[in-house]
Amino acid sequence: VGLQAILSKRFGMLTMRAFIQFSSYTVYYLAIAALPLADAVALYFMAPLFIMALAGPYLGEQVSWRTLATVLVGLLGVLVMLRPGAGLFDWAALLSLASAALYGFSQLMARKIGDTESSTVMAFYQNGAYLVGAAVVAGLFWMAGITHAVHPSLEFLVRPWIWPTMADFLKMGACGFVASAGMILLSQAYRLAPANRVATFEYTGIIWTPLWGFLFFAEVPRATTVIGAALIIGAGLFALNASRRRTGEPAIAATCDPA
């Protein structure tokens, strides 16, 4: 309870997980600085498939050949989106995939340490890692005198700090509140339920991404983005239904409410 809960015997794992999440979110933000929002988010949604594939070797959860097959289908969706050989590949797409892999592993860690640690303690360590990590990275670039880069992702990383306006303060405050609430709820979900099931429900987020990209940035998703995202989402939903059929639980409805 209180400080006693924060000073956990699993301090090392909590800290490692927190900085893995910091790395995940950092490279994700770098990706969306260069990619259309729909592309970056769709690639990021490989995370649940990474979780499904690793739940067996890392957590000892049962992972069937069907689940592994769906991971391959998801990777096919990634290839469709990246269009290798088309001359349009942006290496920032790899940042989004790296973010997905790091995030997936951090949630597997949440499942492993969730038998003794609460979701609020995990969220406390995550927020601490974000604060410390951001200060260290900003300080390193400031001391090195690096303020500009050619690629949009690197430019976003090394951009010098400026004093935010009141409107910017309010926006960042709102982002912090929403992100903290989301981290607590997600950590709690991964503590209480099998990781390869909880992961699939995160796909509902991709429903809103093209809409926000269009409304706020006038981005129109490419056909390859839609097809690739459909393969990734379809693979995850199939894996969830297959898992529930094996355990005798009701299969998820195809028209489930995204809200």
- Residue 259's pLDDT is 32
d(C-alpha 119, C-alpha 111), whole Å:
10
Q: 256 CB contacts (<8 Å, ≥6 apart)?
A: none
DSSP code, position 13 = H
- Residue 132's pLDDT is 93
Measured torsion, CA atoms of residues 202, 183, 109, 238, in degrees rounded to the nearest 10 = -10
d(C-alpha 17, C-alpha 22), whole Å:
9
Which structure tokens are listed for 242?
């297959």
H helices of the chain, in order, are 3-6, 11-32, 37-44, 47-54, 65-82, 92-113, 119-144, 152-158, 166-192, 195-198, 209-217, 223-247
- Residue 4's pLDDT is 67
Q: For the chain, give the number of residues.
A: 259
Closest CA to 107 of 215, 18, 10, 7: 18
Phi-psi region of 85 (alpha: psi -120 to 50; beta: other; left: phi over 0): left
Q: Using an 8 Å Cβ cutoff, are 50 and 101 in contact? A: yes
- Residue 252's pLDDT is 35
**Is this prediction's pTM over 0.85?**
no
Give 10-residue mean pLDDT values along the chain (259 residues): 70 92 93 86 80 80 75 82 63 88 90 84 89 90 85 88 88 86 80 70 71 80 81 74 54 34
- Residue 254's pLDDT is 34
